[in-house]
Structure 1
Amino acid sequence: MTFRRFASALAALAAAVLAACSPVKVLNGLVPTDTYQFEGGIAYGSAPRQRLDVYQPLPSTLTARGARPLVVFFFGGTWSSGDRASYRFIGEALAARGAVVVVPDYGLSPAFTYPVFVRDSALAVKWALDNAAQWGADPRQVYVMGHSSGGYNAAMVALDARWLAEVGASPKQLAGWIGLAGPYDFLPIGDPQAQAAFNWPDTPRDSQPLAHVGPDAPRTLLLAASKDHLVDPDRNTGRMAAALRAAGVPVQVQRFDNLSHVTLIGAFARPVQWLGGPVLPPVVGFLGLASEPSHKGAR
């Protein structure tokens, strides 16, 4: 990496940190554009925000390995901000290594409150289960993944069976779920944006992912930043891991001492992986993908 590119990456990430959980769009200008195939704006429902983008591995890698895992990624933003277009760097990072990646939008607060965004998430996962083969993925290898409030969405779809049941599916169809600094146990709610999203104080206790841990939960990967001052890693990731283990669910946990809530997700972008936390390797390993990009343009 040249010094100018290094400096640009540092400035981009600094801006992202200052913006807390807001979309890190600036990172998209720093990642390769020739390492995947893209199709955007696909409807998974009839509402305006029920749209998703798909990132596919290049055809040459598909023919070499056959059907691939499919990852549905939910972005964060305290359920009140964010859009799928801001997370091309996530789609690229995983598609370049062989996964089909689906990034959906979902209803945001204050226009939509709990459980609308969970229902949207379940509907997007149902779309992925139904359409995985069409996009070169194995329907038996569908994963849900999310960062921050998106990690909450992923956890609820994976652990609380009622949401997928509403759309004719089941968490048993998932190969696993990945939580990145997700809030899994956050009552009482103190953050004003989260209060609005969950109609606090009229928030049902069963809105918490931790309440739905059971032996049938999918295998799990949990990543967190030790310097996370927005979502307590001990209360959330730590308690979730302990509950899953107590239920006999296979769970992997990794914490990164040099990362924060925002840089945990930003470090997926290749130009800023120097930040001190190799977040991509455990995800790639969990998905059973190659550790390095399959296409030379990704290097």
Structure 2
Amino acid sequence: MLIAGSIIVLIIAGYGGLTLALRNNPHAVLDTVDRIVGPSNSVAQVHEASTGADPQQRVLVHRAGKTEGPLPVLVFFHGGSWAHGDPQHYGFAARSFAEEGFIVVLGGYRLGERGRYPAMLEDTAAAVAWVHQNITEHGGDPERIFLGGHSAGAYNVAQVALEPRWLETAGVPSGAVRGVIGLAGPYDFYPYDSASTEATFGSVGAGAESQPVNHARADAPPLLLVHGEQDTLVKPRNSRALAAAVEDAGGQAETLFLPDGDHNAPLLALANPWRRDPTVRNRVIAFLRDKAKVSVPVQPQTP
């Protein structure tokens, strides 16, 4: 009876610790779970570099050990309402795509007061510029760069891809970015109606010019926008509005809506064991391969 009671106490304590960890740092927990329960692979972080004076201004380069370059590159930015988040906790996203033949760079940007508009866009563009200038040293192709992000990170990549001045100022050629993947991103949220958007944009007087939906253009990189229909934090109308604006302008925009998905569903689908539903991951990989013109390796036939 004493042993059984001790086991119950340990289970309760473990559950309580997991619950607290999920509340305080859910993406770090998600990364840990993915690393533990996912299949072993050779994907590893091979480099870290600073892109500015702030500790959050950095890039983390991941690649699989046996892949041969030059490989297309996915630069992925975390969410967190422009107030919190750390690229270090998104290793699950790097493992998800690096094992498919991509170099994956996790990018960081200034947060909170230091990251108010347009600082997060300057930092996003600086990270892309670092990739364009340096990724050949790690087996990447600087002319086949993709941008991706979740939530606030999806806003960042959509805005810098659609409004040309950010990448132009950073010295990134217009043709280097081959496509953009936005997961549950806010693209049409002016006038500001939340504490996070008011703090990040309204407090510095940003207006309609800060909205990706207002920069739709025919020659923008193709977009893939993924959104959960049950997302109450960032409404799915954001992805619908941006896709419609880009298409009306003559550009390319694909969408994937998850009928039962909430705000985190598109991101969760990249990590084990939630990868068992391959809908999101397969669609993103297909988009990347199509726009990068990456062929699927031919598997040797067994007799």
- TM tier, smaller: 0.7 to 0.9
1:53 equivalent to 2:60? Answer yes
The alignment covers a number of residue pairs equal to 275
**Does 1:206 find its partner at 2:209?**
yes
Q: Which position in structure 1 is the counterpart of 2:245? A: 243
Is the 2:192–2:202 Cα contact (8 Å) retained in structure 1? no
Give secondary structure in 2 for the equivalent of 1:261: coil
Shift of 1:156: 1.0
Partner of 1:287: 288
Take 2:132 and 2:247, find their aligned partners in 1: how far apart are those partners? Answer: 27
The answer to whether the 8 A contact 2:148-2:181 is kept is: yes
Q: For CA contacts below 8 A with separation 6 or more, give which structure has more relative contact order.
A: 1
Q: What is the rounded CA distance, in whole Å, between the counterparts of 1:87 and 1:29 in structure 2? A: 10
Return the index of the structure with the highest Cα Rg. Answer: 2
Distance of aligned partners of 1:15 and 1:233 in 2 relative to their CA distance in 1, 3 Å threshold: farther
Structure 1 stretches lacking a partner, 5+ long? 1-10, 295-299
Partner of 2:169: 166
Shift of 1:257: 1.2
- Partner SS state of residue 184, structure 1: coil
Give the counterpart of 2:148 among 145, 148, 152.
145
Contact 1:259-1:277 within 8 A present in 2 as well: no
Paired AA for residue 247 in structure 1: A
Q: Which amino acid aligns with 2:34?
A: V
Superposition pairs for residues 102-113 of structure 1, below 5 Å? 102-113=105-116
* Cα distance change, pair 226–91 in 1 and its aligned pair in 2 (3 A): same
Offset at residue 111 of structure 1 (A) = 3.1
Give me the TM-score of the superposition, normalised by structure 1. 0.84
- Which runs of no fewer than 5 residues in structure 2 stay unpaired? 1-14
Going from structure 1 to structure 2, the CA distance change for 1:201 and 1:111 (only over 3 Å counts) comes to: closer
Given the superposition, is the C-alpha separation of residues 170 and 213 from structure 1 closer, same or farther in structure 2, using an over 3 Å criterion? farther
C-alpha contact 1:148 1:182 (8 A) present in aligned 2: yes
For 2:191 and 2:204, locate their aligned partners in 1 and report how far apart those are by CA, in whole Å: 8
In structure 2, distance between residues paired with 1:120 and 1:246: 29
Using a 3 Å threshold, how does the CA distance of structure 1 residues 120 and 78 change in structure 2: closer, same or farther? same
- Who is 1:5 aligned against? none
Q: Are the structure 2 counterparts of residues 151 and 88 from structure 1 closer, same or farther at C-alpha, using a change threshold of 3 Å?
A: same
**Structure 2 counterpart of 1:212, one-letter code:** H
Structure 1's 31 and 201: CA in aligned 2 closer, same or farther, altered over 3 A? closer
- Return the offset for 1:157: 1.2
In 2, the alpha carbon distance for the partners of 1:184 and 1:291 equals 33
Aligned-partner residue type, residue 55 of structure 2:
P
Query: Structure 1 vs Structure 2: percent identity of aligned residues?
Result: 34
**Under a length normalisation based on structure 2, what TM-score does the superposition of the two structures give?**
0.83
Return the match for 2:48 from 41, 45, 64: 41
